[in-house]
Each structure stands twice: as C-alpha cells, then as structure tokens.
C-alpha cells in the first residue's frame, strides 16, 4: 500500500478556528474552538484519506531563526493566553480521533513538516500539508501538495505558477526578494512579488540576480546592490530546513479510520 501522509500545521488550524469563534477570549471560546477544531480535523481526514497522519505543533522556545534574526516574527499578535494554556487539551482531543501530535521544544512546525515531507517523498509517498501558510509552497512537487482546508483548495504546482508566477523551487528566492511580512522578513525594500517574479523569470535565481544587479538600471538595480545582505538573510530565513534529525518512526502514525 502506498503511503499517503497528512501533515497538519496544528497552530495554523487551531488559531484560524479560534479566530472565527464569536465572543471574548476565555474558557467558553476555547471550548468552542476545541470542538470545532476536532470536527474540522475529522473533515480533513475524510477528504484526504491518509494512511498516516501527524499533527505538528511549534516548539515553545525560540529557535535558530530568532538567533539569526532577533526581529523574526516581531509584531505578530501573540496567542491568546486562554487558548495557549489549553494546548494539551487539543492534543488529547486529536489523539482520541486517532491523530497523534509531535512537538520539539526549539523547532518550528514548518521545519518539522518540511523534514517529514521530504523524507516520505524520497520513498515515493504522497504528502498533503494542511496549512494556509504559503511558505510551504516551496515544497510542492509531484508528490507534495499544500491544502487550504478552509477553502477546500489544493495548492499544487499549477496553483503556484498561476498565483505567484514562478516555479515552486523559485519561491525561496521570490520571498528573499519580496519579503514575507507574516514573519517580519523584509526582503529587498521596494521590491514586491510581481517584480520579484519578473526578475526570477528573466534571471532564474537570486544568485544570478545579485551578480548582475549593477547592470540593472534605475531604482531597482540601486536597491538590489544596496540590500544584498538583507536578501541573503531573508533567503536563509524563508528556506525551510528539511533535514532535521527527528527520531520519529512513521509506523507510529498510521491512521485507522475511526468508527
């Protein structure tokens, strides 16, 4: 039987569900979010039909990106305290429907998911990443798809090309140029996604763009020459690590349909 692994970006799911609940922050809203998150996850299981499933939570300590760039994710709204205090309840509830969770103290879910996806794809398994975070689109391939659960939309190779106008393997360089505001990654000032995509379609990658920046006329060339370090830093920050040592055995996460 061919593996089909469903990887769930846990906080992306939970926080979006929580934000959609009416009322003030507090126990009642958390309870509603818990019930809705479980139902939402059950729907994802029905729609994706995985053989294996892993729910990945962010670690609670700052990791390598904060060490490299202290302003990483600065300005992002913190998780509501009432919600944060109940994360174990979410993990327990997910476990009750057959979905086990993992969390590594200093690792972001993004890198854990990337590592798992690349490892399973290397064995010719199919992977569905359940998240609305477009950072994951850099992993898209014939075997890896990113699914926006809320819109029931599979973001595949065609989606990336049509929406972002580059190939999936160019997305790291697109975000390096244009930045990724969600994580407070600046990129090169004044360069937006359309300009970044145009540069990449003409010159293929960030290395080539920066090497010929001095030949690019006007403000664009000036900004590229002036902000080489920012582009390189942004490139490092947006590239997902896919070779982490996790010590996980996929057999432990086989999914059996609940009755």
Q: What is the pLDDT of residues 33-52, one digit of tens each?
A: 999 999 999 999 999 999 99
Average the pLDDT over 149-161 and give the result.
96
Domain count, the chain: 2
Query: Does 104 share its domain with 204?
Result: no
pLDDT given for residue 257 in this prediction: 80
Residue 185 in contact with residue 234, Cβ under 8 Å? yes
Rounded CA-CA distance 8/18 in Å is 16
Residue 40, domain extent:
4-161+241-253
**Whole-angstrom distance, CA of residue 57 vs CA of residue 55:** 7
Q: Give the residue-averaged pLDDT of 150-168.
A: 96
pLDDT at 23: 87
Distances (CA, A) of 82 to 85, 89, 149: 5, 12, 25
The pLDDT-based confidence of 258 (bands split at 50, 70, 90) is: low
- How far, in Å, CA of 187 to CA of 180, rounded? 7
What pTM value is reported for the model?
0.95
Asked if residue 153 and residue 35 are part of one domain, the reply reads yes
10 Å CB burial of residue 219 (0-12, 13-18, 19+) is exposed
Statement to judge: residues 111 and 168 lie in one domain: no
Look-up of token digits 């819109």: 151
Cα 248 vs. chain centroid, distance in angstroms?
20
Same domain, 12 and 115: yes
For residues 121 and 171, state if they share a domain: no
pLDDT tens per residue across span 48-96:
999 999 999 999 899 999 999 999 999 888 899 999 999 999 999 999 9
* Average of per-residue pLDDT across 135-163: 97
Q: Which residues fall within 8 angstroms of residue 136, CB to CB, at 6 or more apart?
A: 9, 110, 113, 114, 129, 146, 240
Q: Are residues 156 and 64 in the same domain?
A: yes
In a domain, 154, yes or no: yes
Q: Is the pLDDT of residue 259 over 60?
A: no
40, 97, 103, 152 from 89: Cα distances, Å: 16, 13, 14, 26
State percent of the chain over pLDDT 70: 99
**Domain membership flag for residue 220:** yes
In the 8-state DSSP scheme, what is residue 99? Answer: -
Q: Which two tokens stand for residue 87?
A: 């994360």
Residue 13 CA from chain centroid, whole number? 11
Let me know whether 114 and 206 are in one domain: no
For 116-185, the DSSP string reads HHHHHHTTT-EEEEE-S-GGGGGG-SSSEEEEETTTTEEE-HHHHHHHHSS-GGGHHHHHHHH-BGGGTB
- pLDDT (tens digit per residue) in 177-208: 999 999 999 999 999 999 999 999 999 999 99
């Amino acid at each position: 039987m061919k593996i089909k692994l469903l990887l769930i970006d846990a906080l992306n799911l939970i926080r979006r569900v929580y934000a959609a609940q009416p009322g003030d922050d507090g126990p009642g809203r958390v309870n509603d979010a818990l019930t809705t998150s479980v139902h939402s996850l059950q729907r994802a299981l029905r729609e994706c039909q995985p053989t294996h499933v892993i729910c990945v939570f962010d670690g609670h300590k700052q990791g390598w990106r904060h060490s490299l760039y202290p302003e990483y994710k600065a300005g992002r709204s913190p998780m509501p305290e009432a919600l944060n205090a109940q994360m174990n309840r979410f993990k327990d509830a997910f476990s009750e429907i057959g979905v086990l969770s993992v969390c590594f103290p200093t690792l972001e879910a993004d890198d854990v998911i990337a590592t798992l996806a690349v490892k399973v794809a290397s064995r010719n398994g199919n992977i569905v990443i359940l998240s609305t975070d477009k950072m994951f689109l850099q992993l898209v391939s014939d075997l890896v798809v990113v699914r926006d659960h809320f819109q029931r939309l599979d973001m595949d190779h065609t989606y990336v090309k049509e929406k972002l106008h580059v190939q999936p393997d160019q997305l790291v360089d697109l975000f390096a140029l244009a930045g990724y505001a969600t994580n407070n990654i600046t990129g090169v000032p004044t360069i937006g996604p359309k300009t970044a995509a145009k540069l990449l379609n003409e010159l293929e990658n960030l290395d080539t763009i920066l090497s010929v920046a001095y030949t690019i006329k006007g403000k664009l060339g000036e900004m590229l020459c002036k902000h080489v370090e920012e582009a390189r830093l942004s490139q490092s920050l947006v590239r997902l690590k896919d070779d982490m040592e996790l010590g996980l055995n996929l057999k432990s996460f086989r999914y059996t349909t609940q009755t």
